[in-house]
Structure 1
Protein backbone atom coordinates (compact mmCIF):
# COMPACT_ATOMS: atom_id res chain seq x y z
CA UNK A 1 0.00 0.00 0.00
CA UNK A 2 2.79 2.44 0.90
CA UNK A 3 4.62 1.70 -2.39
CA UNK A 4 1.46 2.48 -4.37
CA UNK A 5 0.96 5.75 -2.49
CA UNK A 6 4.58 6.82 -3.07
CA UNK A 7 4.30 5.90 -6.75
CA UNK A 8 1.05 7.84 -7.08
CA UNK A 9 2.58 10.92 -5.45
CA UNK A 10 5.63 10.65 -7.71
CA UNK A 11 3.55 10.36 -10.89
CA UNK A 12 1.27 13.22 -9.85
CA UNK A 13 4.27 15.45 -9.08
CA UNK A 14 5.91 14.58 -12.40
CA UNK A 15 2.71 15.45 -14.26
CA UNK A 16 2.23 18.76 -12.45
CA UNK A 17 5.85 19.82 -12.96
CA UNK A 18 5.87 18.99 -16.65
CA UNK A 19 6.38 22.06 -18.83
CA UNK A 20 4.35 21.19 -21.90
CA UNK A 21 0.82 21.60 -23.08
CA UNK A 22 -2.07 19.42 -22.06
CA UNK A 23 -5.21 19.51 -24.13
CA UNK A 24 -4.15 22.81 -25.74
CA UNK A 25 -3.75 24.39 -22.30
CA UNK A 26 -0.34 25.53 -21.00
CA UNK A 27 0.55 23.67 -17.83
CA UNK A 28 3.51 25.85 -16.82
CA UNK A 29 2.55 29.46 -17.52
CA UNK A 30 5.83 30.99 -16.26
CA UNK A 31 7.69 29.90 -19.38
CA UNK A 32 5.10 31.42 -21.71
CA UNK A 33 5.29 34.65 -19.71
CA UNK A 34 9.12 34.65 -19.97
CA UNK A 35 8.87 34.04 -23.75
CA UNK A 36 6.51 36.99 -24.18
CA UNK A 37 8.70 39.28 -22.09
CA UNK A 38 11.79 38.32 -24.09
CA UNK A 39 10.03 38.97 -27.39
CA UNK A 40 9.00 42.44 -26.23
CA UNK A 41 12.67 43.17 -25.46
CA UNK A 42 13.81 41.88 -28.86
CA UNK A 43 11.20 43.91 -30.75
CA UNK A 44 11.99 47.06 -28.75
CA UNK A 45 15.71 46.75 -29.61
CA UNK A 46 14.85 46.24 -33.30
CA UNK A 47 12.41 49.18 -33.34
CA UNK A 48 14.95 51.50 -31.71
CA UNK A 49 17.82 50.00 -33.73
CA UNK A 50 19.62 49.80 -30.40
CA UNK A 51 22.67 47.64 -31.03
CA UNK A 52 23.80 47.62 -27.38
CA UNK A 53 20.34 46.68 -26.09
CA UNK A 54 20.17 43.82 -28.60
CA UNK A 55 23.61 42.51 -27.65
CA UNK A 56 22.75 42.79 -23.94
CA UNK A 57 19.95 40.23 -24.42
CA UNK A 58 22.47 37.54 -25.38
CA UNK A 59 24.29 35.36 -22.90
CA UNK A 60 28.01 35.75 -22.40
CA UNK A 61 28.42 32.25 -23.84
CA UNK A 62 26.52 33.17 -27.04
CA UNK A 63 28.52 36.37 -27.47
CA UNK A 64 31.79 34.46 -27.00
CA UNK A 65 30.81 31.71 -29.46
CA UNK A 66 29.15 33.81 -32.19
CA UNK A 67 31.23 34.64 -35.26
CA UNK A 68 30.48 38.36 -35.54
CA UNK A 69 27.71 39.65 -33.28
CA UNK A 70 27.92 43.24 -34.52
CA UNK A 71 27.55 42.10 -38.12
CA UNK A 72 24.57 39.93 -37.12
CA UNK A 73 22.85 42.85 -35.39
CA UNK A 74 23.46 45.13 -38.39
CA UNK A 75 22.07 42.45 -40.70
CA UNK A 76 18.95 42.02 -38.55
CA UNK A 77 18.26 45.75 -38.35
CA UNK A 78 18.55 46.06 -42.15
CA UNK A 79 16.56 42.87 -42.83
CA UNK A 80 13.57 43.60 -40.56
CA UNK A 81 11.31 46.15 -42.28
CA UNK A 82 8.26 48.06 -41.11
CA UNK A 83 6.42 48.80 -37.91
CA UNK A 84 5.15 45.84 -35.90
CA UNK A 85 1.39 45.45 -36.24
CA UNK A 86 1.09 42.19 -34.28
CA UNK A 87 3.02 39.24 -32.98
CA UNK A 88 2.14 35.92 -31.39
CA UNK A 89 3.79 32.78 -30.13
CA UNK A 90 3.42 30.10 -32.78
CA UNK A 91 4.89 27.29 -30.65
CA UNK A 92 7.24 26.76 -27.75
CA UNK A 93 8.95 23.98 -25.88
CA UNK A 94 11.41 23.79 -23.05
CA UNK A 95 14.08 21.63 -21.54
CA UNK A 96 15.18 21.56 -17.94
CA UNK A 97 18.30 20.17 -16.31
CA UNK A 98 18.80 19.89 -12.58
CA UNK A 99 22.10 18.91 -11.03
CA UNK A 100 23.12 19.19 -7.38
CA UNK A 101 20.48 21.79 -6.62
CA UNK A 102 21.31 23.93 -9.66
CA UNK A 103 18.95 24.38 -12.59
CA UNK A 104 19.08 25.24 -16.28
CA UNK A 105 15.91 26.00 -18.26
CA UNK A 106 16.18 26.32 -22.05
CA UNK A 107 13.16 27.80 -23.79
CA UNK A 108 12.69 27.35 -27.54
CA UNK A 109 10.05 29.64 -29.02
CA UNK A 110 8.71 30.25 -32.52
CA UNK A 111 6.91 33.54 -33.15
CA UNK A 112 4.96 35.07 -36.02
CA UNK A 113 5.51 38.82 -36.39
CA UNK A 114 3.54 40.97 -38.82
CA UNK A 115 4.67 44.45 -39.77
CA UNK A 116 3.05 46.94 -42.10
CA UNK A 117 5.49 45.74 -44.80
CA UNK A 118 6.18 42.03 -44.22
CA UNK A 119 5.39 38.88 -42.25
CA UNK A 120 8.29 37.28 -40.34
CA UNK A 121 9.00 34.19 -38.32
CA UNK A 122 11.33 34.29 -35.34
CA UNK A 123 13.03 31.34 -33.67
CA UNK A 124 14.61 31.97 -30.28
CA UNK A 125 16.62 29.81 -27.91
CA UNK A 126 16.70 31.48 -24.52
CA UNK A 127 18.16 30.14 -21.30
CA UNK A 128 15.68 31.83 -18.99
CA UNK A 129 17.47 30.46 -15.95
CA UNK A 130 20.87 28.85 -15.59
CA UNK A 131 22.46 28.50 -12.17
CA UNK A 132 24.52 25.55 -13.45
CA UNK A 133 26.42 27.84 -15.84
CA UNK A 134 25.54 31.53 -15.23
CA UNK A 135 27.39 32.62 -18.42
CA UNK A 136 24.73 30.71 -20.34
CA UNK A 137 21.75 32.71 -19.03
CA UNK A 138 20.15 34.81 -21.77
CA UNK A 139 19.55 34.50 -25.50
CA UNK A 140 21.61 31.94 -27.33
CA UNK A 141 19.97 31.92 -30.77
CA UNK A 142 17.91 34.45 -32.72
CA UNK A 143 16.78 33.52 -36.23
CA UNK A 144 14.51 35.90 -38.14
CA UNK A 145 13.23 35.01 -41.60
CA UNK A 146 10.45 36.10 -43.92
CA UNK A 147 7.45 33.84 -43.33
CA UNK A 148 7.43 32.86 -47.01
CA UNK A 149 10.91 31.30 -46.54
CA UNK A 150 9.88 28.95 -43.73
CA UNK A 151 10.35 25.79 -45.83
CA UNK A 152 13.95 26.64 -46.75
CA UNK A 153 15.17 28.61 -43.71
CA UNK A 154 13.60 26.70 -40.80
CA UNK A 155 14.25 23.12 -39.80
CA UNK A 156 14.64 21.09 -36.64
CA UNK A 157 15.49 23.27 -33.66
CA UNK A 158 18.72 21.33 -33.13
CA UNK A 159 19.87 22.35 -36.61
CA UNK A 160 19.02 26.00 -35.91
CA UNK A 161 20.87 26.09 -32.58
CA UNK A 162 23.62 28.53 -33.52
CA UNK A 163 25.09 31.20 -31.24
CA UNK A 164 24.08 34.78 -31.99
CA UNK A 165 21.94 36.09 -34.82
CA UNK A 166 21.32 33.97 -37.89
CA UNK A 167 22.56 35.45 -41.13
CA UNK A 168 22.06 33.34 -44.26
CA UNK A 169 25.08 32.64 -46.43
CA UNK A 170 25.16 34.98 -49.39
Structure 2
Protein backbone atom coordinates (compact mmCIF):
# COMPACT_ATOMS: atom_id res chain seq x y z
CA UNK A 1 0.00 0.00 0.00
CA UNK A 2 2.84 2.38 0.85
CA UNK A 3 4.52 1.70 -2.55
CA UNK A 4 1.25 2.53 -4.34
CA UNK A 5 1.00 5.86 -2.48
CA UNK A 6 4.59 6.79 -3.30
CA UNK A 7 4.22 5.82 -6.97
CA UNK A 8 0.91 7.71 -7.24
CA UNK A 9 2.47 10.78 -5.66
CA UNK A 10 5.45 10.64 -8.03
CA UNK A 11 3.21 10.24 -11.08
CA UNK A 12 0.98 13.12 -10.04
CA UNK A 13 4.04 15.27 -9.32
CA UNK A 14 5.51 14.55 -12.75
CA UNK A 15 2.20 15.33 -14.44
CA UNK A 16 1.88 18.55 -12.49
CA UNK A 17 5.41 19.71 -13.26
CA UNK A 18 5.20 18.84 -16.95
CA UNK A 19 1.79 20.43 -17.44
CA UNK A 20 1.50 22.64 -20.50
CA UNK A 21 -0.22 25.42 -18.62
CA UNK A 22 2.55 25.58 -16.05
CA UNK A 23 5.19 25.50 -18.74
CA UNK A 24 3.30 28.26 -20.48
CA UNK A 25 3.32 30.35 -17.31
CA UNK A 26 7.07 29.87 -16.89
CA UNK A 27 7.63 30.77 -20.53
CA UNK A 28 5.36 33.79 -20.20
CA UNK A 29 7.27 34.98 -17.13
CA UNK A 30 10.61 34.59 -18.92
CA UNK A 31 9.32 36.38 -22.02
CA UNK A 32 7.91 39.22 -19.90
CA UNK A 33 11.29 39.68 -18.21
CA UNK A 34 13.02 39.59 -21.59
CA UNK A 35 10.55 42.10 -23.09
CA UNK A 36 11.06 44.42 -20.13
CA UNK A 37 14.84 44.15 -20.42
CA UNK A 38 14.70 44.92 -24.14
CA UNK A 39 12.31 47.84 -23.62
CA UNK A 40 14.60 49.29 -20.97
CA UNK A 41 17.57 48.85 -23.32
CA UNK A 42 15.68 50.70 -26.06
CA UNK A 43 15.02 53.60 -23.67
CA UNK A 44 18.72 53.63 -22.76
CA UNK A 45 19.54 53.95 -26.48
CA UNK A 46 17.16 56.91 -26.77
CA UNK A 47 18.70 58.51 -23.67
CA UNK A 48 22.23 58.02 -25.01
CA UNK A 49 21.23 59.77 -28.24
CA UNK A 50 19.73 62.61 -26.17
CA UNK A 51 22.82 62.94 -23.98
CA UNK A 52 25.14 63.10 -26.97
CA UNK A 53 22.64 65.17 -29.01
CA UNK A 54 23.17 62.61 -31.77
CA UNK A 55 20.30 62.97 -34.21
CA UNK A 56 21.62 60.22 -36.48
CA UNK A 57 21.76 57.76 -33.57
CA UNK A 58 18.19 58.62 -32.56
CA UNK A 59 16.96 58.34 -36.13
CA UNK A 60 18.65 54.94 -36.52
CA UNK A 61 16.48 53.52 -33.72
CA UNK A 62 13.33 54.00 -35.80
CA UNK A 63 12.07 51.44 -38.28
CA UNK A 64 12.29 52.11 -41.99
CA UNK A 65 8.48 52.04 -42.08
CA UNK A 66 8.23 54.70 -39.35
CA UNK A 67 10.69 56.96 -41.15
CA UNK A 68 8.71 56.57 -44.39
CA UNK A 69 5.32 57.19 -42.76
CA UNK A 70 6.32 60.07 -40.48
CA UNK A 71 5.52 63.54 -41.70
CA UNK A 72 8.81 65.48 -41.78
CA UNK A 73 10.67 63.27 -39.30
CA UNK A 74 13.75 65.51 -39.22
CA UNK A 75 11.67 68.54 -38.23
CA UNK A 76 9.98 66.52 -35.46
CA UNK A 77 13.39 65.39 -34.24
CA UNK A 78 14.62 69.00 -34.14
CA UNK A 79 11.47 69.97 -32.20
CA UNK A 80 12.17 67.12 -29.77
CA UNK A 81 15.74 68.25 -29.09
CA UNK A 82 14.46 71.82 -28.55
CA UNK A 83 11.61 70.62 -26.28
CA UNK A 84 13.71 68.29 -24.12
CA UNK A 85 15.54 70.45 -21.60
CA UNK A 86 18.31 69.60 -19.14
CA UNK A 87 20.67 66.74 -18.49
CA UNK A 88 19.19 63.31 -17.83
CA UNK A 89 19.52 62.38 -14.14
CA UNK A 90 17.46 59.21 -14.00
CA UNK A 91 14.48 57.34 -15.33
CA UNK A 92 11.78 55.18 -13.81
CA UNK A 93 9.21 52.82 -15.20
CA UNK A 94 5.66 53.33 -13.86
CA UNK A 95 4.27 50.18 -15.52
CA UNK A 96 4.53 47.83 -18.42
CA UNK A 97 5.64 47.09 -20.89
CA UNK A 98 2.44 46.18 -22.71
CA UNK A 99 3.26 43.42 -25.19
CA UNK A 100 1.19 42.18 -28.10
CA UNK A 101 2.56 39.21 -30.00
CA UNK A 102 1.23 37.06 -32.82
CA UNK A 103 2.81 33.83 -33.99
CA UNK A 104 1.05 32.34 -36.98
CA UNK A 105 3.01 29.23 -37.95
CA UNK A 106 6.36 30.93 -37.42
CA UNK A 107 5.30 34.32 -38.76
CA UNK A 108 6.02 36.37 -35.65
CA UNK A 109 5.14 39.99 -35.00
CA UNK A 110 5.63 41.66 -31.63
CA UNK A 111 4.65 45.14 -30.50
CA UNK A 112 6.01 46.48 -27.22
CA UNK A 113 4.63 49.68 -25.70
CA UNK A 114 6.64 50.93 -22.76
CA UNK A 115 6.18 53.91 -20.50
CA UNK A 116 8.80 55.87 -18.56
CA UNK A 117 9.40 59.00 -16.55
CA UNK A 118 12.69 60.60 -17.53
CA UNK A 119 14.08 63.09 -15.03
CA UNK A 120 16.44 65.88 -15.96
CA UNK A 121 17.94 68.62 -13.83
CA UNK A 122 15.26 70.96 -15.26
CA UNK A 123 12.11 68.92 -15.92
CA UNK A 124 10.40 65.55 -15.57
CA UNK A 125 9.09 64.00 -18.80
CA UNK A 126 6.79 61.13 -19.70
CA UNK A 127 7.96 58.91 -22.60
CA UNK A 128 5.83 56.41 -24.45
CA UNK A 129 7.79 54.14 -26.79
CA UNK A 130 6.06 51.88 -29.29
CA UNK A 131 8.58 49.40 -30.60
CA UNK A 132 8.41 46.45 -32.99
CA UNK A 133 11.39 44.28 -32.02
CA UNK A 134 10.23 41.37 -34.23
CA UNK A 135 8.37 41.15 -37.52
CA UNK A 136 9.54 38.11 -39.46
CA UNK A 137 7.46 38.91 -42.55
CA UNK A 138 8.20 42.64 -42.75
CA UNK A 139 11.73 43.47 -41.55
CA UNK A 140 11.19 47.15 -42.47
CA UNK A 141 8.78 47.32 -39.49
CA UNK A 142 11.47 46.39 -36.95
CA UNK A 143 12.46 49.28 -34.72
CA UNK A 144 10.82 52.18 -32.94
CA UNK A 145 7.56 53.26 -34.47
CA UNK A 146 6.63 56.01 -32.01
CA UNK A 147 8.36 58.13 -29.41
CA UNK A 148 5.76 60.30 -27.69
CA UNK A 149 7.09 62.83 -25.18
CA UNK A 150 5.28 65.23 -22.86
CA UNK A 151 6.11 66.96 -19.62
CA UNK A 152 5.08 64.64 -16.80
CA UNK A 153 2.39 67.04 -15.60
CA UNK A 154 0.70 66.67 -19.02
CA UNK A 155 0.67 62.86 -19.02
CA UNK A 156 -3.03 62.52 -18.11
CA UNK A 157 -3.98 64.63 -21.11
CA UNK A 158 -2.58 62.11 -23.60
CA UNK A 159 -5.01 59.42 -22.34
CA UNK A 160 -8.03 61.78 -22.36
CA UNK A 161 -10.24 61.05 -25.37
CA UNK A 162 -11.47 64.65 -25.38
CA UNK A 163 -7.89 65.89 -25.96
CA UNK A 164 -7.64 63.70 -29.10
CA UNK A 165 -3.97 62.79 -28.56
CA UNK A 166 -3.93 59.00 -28.26
CA UNK A 167 -7.71 58.55 -28.29
CA UNK A 168 -10.63 60.27 -29.95
CA UNK A 169 -13.30 59.30 -27.49
CA UNK A 170 -12.86 55.52 -27.33
CA UNK A 171 -11.10 55.21 -30.70
CA UNK A 172 -7.34 54.79 -30.66
CA UNK A 173 -5.38 57.30 -32.75
CA UNK A 174 -2.16 56.10 -34.35
CA UNK A 175 0.91 58.31 -34.53
CA UNK A 176 4.27 57.64 -36.06
CA UNK A 177 7.77 59.01 -35.52
CA UNK A 178 8.51 61.54 -32.80
CA UNK A 179 5.35 63.09 -31.42
CA UNK A 180 5.20 65.98 -28.95
CA UNK A 181 1.48 66.71 -28.64
CA UNK A 182 1.72 69.42 -25.96
CA UNK A 183 4.54 71.96 -26.05
Aligned CA RMSD, in angstroms, stands at 2.4
Match of 1:99 in 2: 104
- Per-residue deviation at 1:167? 3.0
Contact 1:82 1:116 in 2 (8 A): yes
Query: The residue matched to 1:58 in structure 2 has which SS?
Result: coil
Structure with larger Rg: 2
Counterparts of 1:27 and 1:45 in 2: how far apart (Å)?
27
Does residue 164 (structure 1) correspond to residue 168 (structure 2)? The answer is: no
71, 78, 92: which one pairs with 1:74?
A: 78
Counterparts of 1:79 and 1:129 in 2: how far apart (Å)?
30
Query: The residue matched to 2:122 in structure 1 has which SS?
Result: coil
Task: Classify 1:117/1:123 alpha carbon distance in 2 versus 1 (closer, same or farther; 3 Å).
Answer: same
Contact 2:150 2:181 in 1 (8 A): no
Counterparts of 1:50 and 1:138 in 2: how far apart (Å)?
17
Query: The residue matched to 1:132 in structure 2 has which SS?
Result: coil
Runs (4 or more) in structure 1 with deviation over 4 Å come to 155-158
Cα shift readout 1:26-82 (whole Å, capped 9, x = no counterpart): 862111110111011101111222111111100011111111110110011000000
Does residue 129 (structure 1) correspond to residue 134 (structure 2)? The answer is: yes
Superposition pairs of residues 13-92 of structure 1, within 5 angstroms: 13-18=23-28, 28-91=32-95, 92=97
Counterparts of 2:43 and 2:37 in 1: how far apart (Å)?
10
Contact 2:90 2:118 in 1 (8 A): yes
Query: The residue matched to 1:87 in structure 2 has which SS?
Result: strand
Contact 1:141 1:161 in 2 (8 A): no
State TM-score, norm by structure 1.
0.83
Counterparts of 1:11 and 1:58 in 2: how far apart (Å)?
36
Counterparts of 2:182 and 2:145 in 1: how far apart (Å)?
19
State TM-score, norm by structure 2.
0.78
Contact 1:154 1:160 in 2 (8 A): no
Unaligned runs of 5+ in 2: 1-14, 161-165
Counterparts of 1:103 and 1:50 in 2: how far apart (Å)?
32
